[in-house]
C-alpha cells in the first residue's frame, strides 16, 4: 500500500511540474479615466474609431510577464458604454517603438476577429482571443483596436488610463465610415490600464552567422539551433520558403540568398513562437579588403582569389592622382599588389552602372606621391556588363605596384577581378609544419617573395645556402622520385633541399642548386617514409616557381588481379 501511494504521489507531482499554468499580469494603475469622448479602446462617442498604443517589454517583465502565448486582454472599465461596439477587432504586433508618437504601419496579427462587443460591466472586461499572440519576450507589443460603424452614439464608455506622458495613445475616428484601414492621426497622454493572460513557454534559441560570397552577389547563413525550448522540433523559414523542416539541435546551412531575409525558427507543425533574426543583402562596400580612397594606405589585395569592388562606396577624387591615359578622375580608389612576374594578367567583369559608362583602370610603379604609369596598363573605359582580360608587363619581380580604379565620368559600378598570373600572396607553407603535400604527377605554382626564413634549415650538400623559402612534403614510394623547379612558370634561380625526419629534427637526404638553369633532384625513396622539400632562391634570388613531383610508372608486367 505504501509503495502504491508513493507512485501516486510521484505521478501527481510530475503532472503538476509539467503543467503550463497561465498567468494574468496587470500593467498600470488607475491614474485617470479616458473621458466620455476621449481616445481609448472602449468608448461609444464615435461610431467608428481606430486606436493604437504600445506596451513595452520592460513594463511587461516588471509586472511578472514572460515570453509565451498571450491568450486574452482586459480593459479596466470605469464607465459602461451606452451601446454595442460593432465589428470590434483587436490586432497585435511586435515592435521596436516605445510609444505611439507616430502611426505604426508594421504588419499586424488579428488576435480577436471582428465581433460585437456588448457594454458589459465595470471592472476588468476580459476579451479572450480567437488567435493567440506569441510574444517573443524581447520586443515591445503594439495593440491596435478598431470598431464600427455603430448604430448609435452617446457620451459615455470609459476605461482607467495610466502613464501621463505624451504620445501614449493615438487614434482616428469618424461618425459615418469605418476607420479600421486608416492611419491614426491624433495622439494623447496616458494609455489604457490592461491585463494580459500569458501561458509561459520557452522559445527556441539559435546563433546565425552570415557569410558573403566572394563576389558579394549572394550570401549564406549558418544556422546553429542551440535550444529547442518547449518544443521537440522546429522549422527554419523566412515566411515564404521553409529551408529545414522538423529538425532538432544542430547546424544547418542556407546558401544562395539574395536580398533581405528574416529567418524564423518556429515550432514544427504550427505556431509563431520562435527565434527571429533579420539579414540584408551583402554590400560590397563593407568588404574588409575594400580599396582605399587614397594611394597612401592602399591595401594589399589577395588577387589570387576573386576580388569584388565598387566605385559606389563614397569615394572622392584622390589628391594628386596622376593625370594619365586621358582620364578625368572623379571617384578613384586604390589597391596594391606584389609582382611575382614581369607580366600580370587579370580577367575582369563590370556589373550594372548608374550611367552606362563603366570604369577606367591604370597601374603605377614607384611610391605614393611619386608614381609612374606602367606602359600598356590603361583601360579607358570598359562599359557596364562587360568582361575582358587586362594584361600589363615591364614589372620588377618583388616590387609593389598600385592599381587605380575610377568610375568613368564618375560612374557608379560594381566590378570583379580574377587573377590569371603574376600576383604574389603570403605563402601558406612558410613554415615546415604547414608544408603542402605533393603527390606523384602533381605541380604547384608558388613564390618565395613574401616568404621568411623563420625555420630555414641547414642546406644539404649541393643545396647552396638556404634563405627565405617555403616547404613541401611527399610520401616515398620505394622508387626513385624527381623533384624539380625546372618548369615553365619558374622565373628565378632556385635551390632544392630534401630531408627526412620531423619538423625541427630533420636529416639531409640531398640538395641541388642551379647551374645556369633551374633545379631538378632525383632521389631513391623508402616506401611510406615522409620527405620534406625546402624551396628557396639561389643567393638572394626571388620570384615565382613551379615545382613538380615525378614518379616512375608502374611496370607493364606488374600482374593482374584474379
Cis omega (within 30 of 0) for bond into 25: no
pLDDT value of position 378: 94
Kindly report the CATH number that applies to the domain delimited by 23-200. 2.60.120
Question: Angle at the Cα of 515 (from 513 to 520), degrees rounded to 5?
Answer: 55
Pick the closest to residue 438 from 535, 297, 311 (CA basis): 535
d(CA 460, CA 507): 9
Kindly report the CATH number that applies to the domain delimited by 286-424. 2.60.120
* Segment 387-397 mean pLDDT: 94
Containing 4, the helix (H) or strand (E) segment is helix 2-18
For residue 2, what is the DSSP state?
H
pLDDT value of position 2: 41
d(CA 21, CA 543): 74
pLDDT value of position 138: 87
All CATH 2.60.40 domain ranges of the chain, comma separated, are 205-279
All CATH 2.60.120.380 domain ranges of the chain, comma separated, are 432-550
Contact predicate 341/491, CB 8 Å? yes
CATH number (3.10.450, 1.25.40, 2.60.40, 3.30.1380) of 205-279 reads 2.60.40
pLDDT digits (tens, 9 = 90+) for 516-548: 567 899 999 999 999 999 999 998 899 999 999
Q: Is the pLDDT of residue 211 over 70?
A: yes
* Segment 126-133 mean pLDDT: 94
Residue 357 is placed in which grid cell? Answer: 559608362
pLDDT value of position 272: 73
Containing 444, the helix (H) or strand (E) segment is strand 443-447
CATH number (3.40.47.10, 3.40.50.10440, 2.60.120.380, 2.60.40.10) of 432-550 reads 2.60.120.380
d(CA 411, CA 353): 6
pLDDT value of position 554: 64
Contact predicate 236/206, CB 8 Å? no
pLDDT value of position 555: 55
Percent of all residues in the chain with a pLDDT value above 90, rounded to a whole number: 80
pLDDT value of position 6: 36
Q: Is the pLDDT of residue 10 over 90?
A: no
Percent of all residues in the chain with a pLDDT value above 70, rounded to a whole number: 94
Containing 7, the helix (H) or strand (E) segment is helix 2-18
Q: In sequence order, which ranges of 44-178 are alpha helices (DSSP H)? A: 57-62
In the chain, the N- to C-terminal Cα span, in Å, equals 75
Pick the closest to residue 280 from 259, 253, 264 (CA basis): 259
How much is the mean pLDDT over the chain? 91
Q: Is the pLDDT of residue 433 over 70?
A: yes
- What are residue 540's DSSP bridge partners? none
Which pTM value belongs to this model? Answer: 0.65
* Segment 51-80 mean pLDDT: 96
Residue 504 is placed in which grid cell? Answer: 625541427
pLDDT value of position 186: 97
pLDDT digits (tens, 9 = 90+) for 342-353: 999 999 999 999
- How far is the CA of 76 from the CAs of 40, 112, 190, in angstroms? 11, 18, 14
Amino acid at each position: 500500500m505504501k509503495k502504491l501511494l508513493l507512485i501516486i504521489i510521484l505521478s501527481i507531482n510530475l503532472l503538476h511540474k509539467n503543467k503550463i499554468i497561465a498567468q494574468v499580469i496587470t500593467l498600470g494603475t488607475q491614474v485617470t479615466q479616458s473621458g466620455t469622448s476621449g481616445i481609448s479602446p472602449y468608448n461609444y462617442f464615435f461610431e467608428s474609431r481606430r486606436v493604437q498604443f504600445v506596451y513595452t517589454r520592460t513594463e511587461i517583465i516588471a509586472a511578472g510577464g514572460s515570453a509565451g502565448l498571450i491568450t486574452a486582454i482586459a480593459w479596466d472599465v470605469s464607465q459602461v458604454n451606452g451601446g454595442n461596439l460593432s465589428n470590434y477587432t483587436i490586432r497585435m504586433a511586435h515592435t521596436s517603438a516605445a510609444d505611439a508618437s507616430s502611426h505604426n504601419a508594421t504588419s499586424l496579427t488579428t488576435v480577436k476577429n471582428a465581433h460585437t462587443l456588448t457594454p458589459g460591466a465595470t471592472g476588468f472586461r476580459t476579451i479572450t482571443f480567437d488567435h493567440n499572440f506569441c510574444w517573443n519576450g524581447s520586443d515591445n507589443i503594439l495593440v491596435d483596436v478598431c470598431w464600427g460603424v455603430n448604430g448609435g452614439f452617446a457620451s459615455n464608455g470609459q476605461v482607467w488610463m495610466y502613464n501621463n506622458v505624451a504620445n501614449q495613445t493615438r487614434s482616428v475616428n469618424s461618425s459615418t465610415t469605418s476607420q479600421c484601414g486608416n492611419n491614426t492621426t491624433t495622439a494623447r497622454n496616458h494609455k489604457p490600464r490592461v491585463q494580459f493572460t500569458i501561458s509561459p513557454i520557452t522559445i527556441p534559441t539559435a546563433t546565425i552567422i552570415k557569410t558573403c560570397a566572394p563576389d558579394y552577389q549572394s550570401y549564406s547563413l549558418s544556422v546553429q539551433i542551440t535550444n529547442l525550448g518547449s518544443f521537440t522540433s522546429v522549422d527554419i523559414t523566412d515566411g515564404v520558403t521553409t529551408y529545414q523542416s522538423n529538425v532538432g539541435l544542430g547546424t544547418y546551412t542556407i546558401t544562395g540568398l539574395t536580398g533581405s531575409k528574416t529567418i524564423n525558427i518556429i515550432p514544427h507543425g504550427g505556431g509563431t513562437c520562435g527565434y527571429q533574426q533579420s539579414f540584408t543583402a551583402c554590400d560590397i562596400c563593407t568588404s574588409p579588403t575594400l580599396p582605399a580612397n587614397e594611394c597612401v594606405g592602399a591595401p594589399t589585395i589577395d588577387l589570387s582569389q576573386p576580388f569584388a569592388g565598387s566605385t559606389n562606396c563614397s569615394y572622392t577624387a584622390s589628391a594628386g592622382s596622376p593625370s594619365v591615359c586621358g582620364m578625368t578622375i572623379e571617384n578613384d580608389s586604390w589597391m596594391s599588389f606584389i609582382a611575382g612576374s614581369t607580366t600580370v594578367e587579370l580577367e575582369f567583369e563590370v556589373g550594372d552602372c548608374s550611367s552606362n559608362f563603366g570604369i577606367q583602370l591604370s597601374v603605377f610603379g614607384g611610391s605614393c606621391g611619386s608614381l609612374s604609369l606602367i606602359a600598356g596598363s590603361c583601360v579607358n573605359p570598359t562599359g557596364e556588363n562587360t568582361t575582358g582580360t587586362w594584361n600589363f608587363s615591364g614589372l620588377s619581380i618583388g616590387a609593389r605596384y598600385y592599381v587605380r580604379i575610377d568610375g568613368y565620368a564618375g560612374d557608379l559600378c560594381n566590378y570583379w577581378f580574377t587573377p590569371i598570373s603574376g600576383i604574389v600572396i603570403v605563402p601558406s607553407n612558410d613554415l615546415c609544419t604547414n608544408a603542402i603535400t605533393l603527390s606523384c604527377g602533381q605541380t604547384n605554382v608558388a613564390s618565395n617573395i613574401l616568404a621568411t626564413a623563420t625555420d630555414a634549415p641547414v642546406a644539404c650538400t649541393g643545396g647552396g645556402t638556404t634563405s627565405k623559402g617555403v616547404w613541401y612534403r611527399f610520401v616515398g614510394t620505394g622508387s626513385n622520385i624527381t623533384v624539380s623547379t625546372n618548369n615553365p612558370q619558374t622565373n628565378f634561380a632556385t635551390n632544392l633541399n630534401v630531408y627526412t625526419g620531423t619538423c625541427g629534427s630533420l636529416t639531409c637526404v640531398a640538395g641541388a642548386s642551379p647551374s645556369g638553369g633551374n633545379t631538378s633532384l632525383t632521389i631513391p625513396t623508402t616506401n611510406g617514409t615522409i620527405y620534406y622539400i625546402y624551396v628557396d632562391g639561389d643567393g638572394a634570388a626571388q620570384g615565382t616557381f613551379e615545382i613538380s613531383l615525378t614518379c616512375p610508372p608502374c611496370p607493364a608486367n606488374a600482374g593482374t588481379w584474379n
